[in-house]
Amino acid sequence: MQPLAERLRPKTLDEYIGQKHLVGEGAVLRRMIDSGRISSFILWGPPGVGKTTLAQIIANRLETPFYTLSAVTSGVKDVREVIERAKSNRFFSSASPILFIDEIHRFSKSQQDSLLGAVEQGIVTLIGATTENPSFEVIRPLLSRCQLYVLKPLEKDDLLALLHRALATDIVLKERKIEVRETDAMLRYSGGDARKLLNILELVVEAAGDDALVVIDDATVVDRLQQNPLAYDKDGEMHYDIISAFIKSIRGSDPDAAIYWLARMVEGGEDPAFIARRLVISAAEDIGLANPNALLLANATFDAVMKIGWPEGRIPLAECTVYLATSPKSNSAYLSIDEALALVRRTGNLPVPLHLRNAPTKLMKQLGYSDGYKYAHDYPGHFVRQQFLPDDLKGQRIWTPQDNPAEARHKERMERLWGEEKKYGES
């Protein structure tokens, strides 16, 4: 018999749980599906949130030929064969055949190149699914021809709805005596992953025997999972939980813990590029301006790992990990860009002050573009006070220096140049 997660796979959007921002009433993907025509897109999100299921639902809804390739097992030859089959079916459907590629981030550049022409010409509508950031893993020409939709981990209410649906509708579970007393452990171990939740539920039920009452509580779930460490997508747990511990150890300035979690990932067969990218992110997000060299080293580490591979790649990863963990920490740049984005969303497209606008034509000069702009290099110290923000935001403060020697120097210089206009006080 199929696993519970397969038996419960939704067949329609009405059965689909979660991702309301994409498939809820009036949402962008729902409107596209309801219109009967979709354009190529990539679904980016963690495991078990419905990427593959959504692609299958769309194909069923549109009643169009549906081809599936796994980037793990398929090569360029497989891609070309599918495209040829899609060409032959193109005339029998008003919509282009759908080509679904699971784990598209694992496709090589040549494999992705082989898709380009078919996507451009409308021979296939591409739906890709990935757990990795497409901007790192998908070639730019292909990414530019696809919409990107981000799927989120399932919320607590989504997981509970899935649990109750499984107990009420599954052909096996609805015949069992099951009493749900507590769900905290099940939800915690699921981590927003529907497949993981159903695997845990199936494990607990099977461990109880054929005829016994199945009691689901936190102690039982923890006990069953400790006895069966591989029972619920261990690769997925390592991929997300271990990297979380790794980054938090770096952020918390504990080099011993950071190296330990790095070793867990290396020993577990984690993708070295995945680790290296996280180090680059950590250097920018958590060390930031407190030690700008951290980002340079992290970027060099990424390049080195890509060049030398395993097993030697573990050495620059370890060097960078220790350096980041022992560096002073600052998230002032991270906070400032989030503050600026929030400000932009609140205030909209405020006009650029005339003196900051470029004036390449005579008409623009007549309209006052660039009039009054002061060229900083013409002034002592290569600085002159003038307004750079939109008029409505004049005097707005966004970046706040934090308490470390590097930013203290930046703070002192800003206050010396700008005076009261940028008086930061004690940081």
Res. 427: pLDDT tops 50: no
How crowded is residue 99: how many other Cβ atoms within 10 Å of its Cβ?
A: 26
The number of folded domains in the chain is: 4
For residue 42, the 8-state DSSP code is: E
| Domain containing residue 294: CATH number | 1.20.272.10
Tokens of 233: 């997508």
Mapping DSSP onto H, E and C, the string for 137-163 reads HCCHHHHCCCEEEECCCCCHHHHHHHH
> Is the model's pLDDT at 425 over the cut of 80?
no
Q: What is the dihedral of CA 82, 84, 90, 93, to 10 degrees?
A: -30
Residues 196-208 have a mean pLDDT of 87
204: left (phi over 0), alpha (psi -120 to 50) or beta: alpha
Model-wide pTM > 0.85: no
DSSP for 278-292, please give it. HHHHHIIIIIGGG-T
pLDDT at position 232 over 50: no
- The Cα 301–Cα 295 span in angstroms is 10
Are residues 50 and 92 located together in one domain of the fold? yes
Residues 216 and 261 in one domain: no
Confidence of residue 228 (pLDDT cuts 50, 70, 90): low
Tens digits of residue pLDDT in 343-357: 888 888 888 888 878
Mean pLDDT (whole number) for 192-196? 86
Q: Which residues form the domain of 412?
A: 346-422
- Is 295 inside any structural domain? yes
- Please report the pLDDT score of residue 321 as a whole number: 94
Q: CA–CA separation, 166 vs 176, rounded Å?
A: 12
Give the pLDDT mean for 391-417.
85
pLDDT, position 230: 41
Domain boundary among 185, 211, 232: 232
Q: Would residue 411 count as lying in a domain?
A: yes
CA distances from 90 to 61, 71, 118, 123 (A): 17, 23, 12, 7
- Rounded to an integer, the average pLDDT of 95-124 is 85
